[in-house]
């Protein structure tokens, strides 16, 4: 007997239609990276070409923006990955005074409107007279990523069996060795997932970056800046390559998970 209340293919067709709707803009983005456009506006398809792939890095400001985005995302991944994992470990493993307050602050950070966080940070930086740029973007990205990493790691920690760590200690392992050789390998999938989430959140962020960037440009900020003048095909290609990289990682994950189950 099949699960569920409704028979027939109606819902299945509907689901595929919604998925198609979700994918349409991506397909358009990929397609127009191959467009042999003549003018400034990449709006009508004028024939297939690979020439833009050859000229991918010809717009210096765009290339710099992409490099900035990648650097910021890597720094955010590392810093928020470590700080968030430590919080996740503490919340998942220990009961302590202040845990509820910390959870509340994290929940507020996750559900707070991005524009409010961006505006608040901007207020702080102008009040302190702190010039905005690359460092302030990293500060902001780490701030909004920490809670997501912590929640991901906490979920992993809570499923773990503490008896393994007790066994390690009974066998004479020091606290540090127990952490390094037993705890860390067990929570590592959570740490990895959380850090990757931080990378993804950082590289895509527009709103908070808009408020904390000063004169520095990231990939989304550069695109935003040229919206009115027209998007060059190089943007489509960079978007396509980021999409392809994400796709490869995700598909690799799904296949690995299936193998483990099998």
Partner 1 sequence: MRTLRARLTPYALIFPGGLWLAIFFVVPTLVMLSLSLQSGNVVDGFAFTWNWHSYVDGITTYHDQIIRSLLYGLAATVIQILIGFPVAYWIAFKGGSNKSVYLFLVLLPFLVSFVLRTISWQFLLSDNGILLGPLRDAGLLPQDFRVLATPYAVIGGLSYNFLPFMILPMYVALERIDPRLLEAAQDLYASRMQTFLRVVLPLSLPGVFAGVLMTFVPATSDYVNSSVLGGTNTTMIGNVIQNQFLVNQDYPVASALSFTLMALLLIGIFVYARALGTEDVLEVAAR
Task: Report 179-218 residues binding partner 1 (CB under 8 A).
Answer: 200, 203-204, 206-207, 210-211
Helices (H) and strands (E) in the chain — how many of each?
12, 0
Q: Does 168 bind partner 1 (CB under 8 A)?
A: no
Q: Does 12 bind partner 1 (CB under 8 A)?
A: yes
Least distance from partner 1 to the Cβ atom of residue 12, Å: 6
Rounded-to-integer distance, Cα 214 and Cα 122, Å: 10
Least distance from partner 1 to the Cβ atom of residue 122, Å: 6
Determine which residue in the list 36, 38, 40, 43 makes contact with partner 1, applying CB under 8 A.
Answer: 43
Rounded-to-integer distance, Cα 151 and Cα 146, Å: 9
Piece of the chain touching partner 1 by CB under 8 A; list 50-58, 85-93, 165-173, 186-194: 85-93
Q: Does 241 bind partner 1 (CB under 8 A)?
A: no
β-sheet bridge partners, residue 48 = 35
Q: Give a three-class secondary structure readout of 138-205.
A: HHHHHHHHHHHHHHHHHHHHHCCCCHHHHHHHHCCCCHHHHHHHHHHHHHHHHHHHHHHHHHHHHHHC
User: With contacts defined by CB under 8 A, how many residues of the chain interact with partner 1?
Assistant: 89
Determine which residue in the list 39, 215, 254, 259 makes contact with partner 1, applying CB under 8 A.
Answer: 254
**Among residue numbers 130 through 149, which ones bind partner 1 (CB under 8 A)?**
139-140, 142-143, 146-147
| Token representation of residue 101 | 């307050």
Piece of the chain touching partner 1 by CB under 8 A; list 46-54, 83-91, 160-168, 188-196: 83-91
| Token representation of residue 94 | 């220990």
């Amino acid at each position: 007997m099949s699960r569920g209340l409704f028979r027939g293919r109606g819902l299945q067709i509907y689901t595929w239609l919604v998925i198609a709707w979700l994918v349409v803009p991506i397909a358009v983005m990929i397609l127009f990276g191959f467009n042999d456009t003549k003018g400034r506006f990449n709006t009508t398809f004028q024939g297939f070409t690979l020439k833009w792939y050859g000229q991918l890095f010809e717009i210096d400001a765009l290339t710099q923006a992409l490099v900035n985005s990648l650097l910021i995302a890597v720094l955010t991944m590392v810093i928020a990955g470590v700080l968030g994992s430590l919080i996740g470990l503490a919340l998942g493993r220990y009961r302590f005074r202040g845990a509820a307050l910390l959870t509340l602050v994290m929940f507020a950070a996750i559900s707070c409107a991005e524009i409010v966080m961006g505006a608040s940070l901007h207020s702080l930086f102008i009040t302190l007279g702190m010039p905005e740029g690359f460092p302030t973007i990293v500060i902001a990205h780490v701030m909004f990523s920490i809670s997501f990493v912590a929640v991901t790691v906490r979920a992993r920690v809570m499923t773990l069996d503490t008896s393994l760590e007790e066994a390690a200690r009974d066998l004479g392992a020091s606290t540090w060795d127990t952490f390094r050789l037993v705890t860390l390998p067990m929570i590592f999938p959570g740490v990895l997932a959380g850090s990757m989430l931080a990378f993804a959140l950082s590289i895509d962020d527009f709103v908070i970056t808009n408020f904390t960037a000063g004169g520095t440009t990231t990939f989304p900020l550069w695109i935003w800046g040229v919206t009115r003048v027209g998007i060059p095909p190089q943007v489509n290609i960079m978007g396509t390559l980021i999409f392809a990289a994400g796709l490869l990682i995700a598909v690799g994950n799904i296949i690995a998970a299936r193998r483990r189950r099998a």
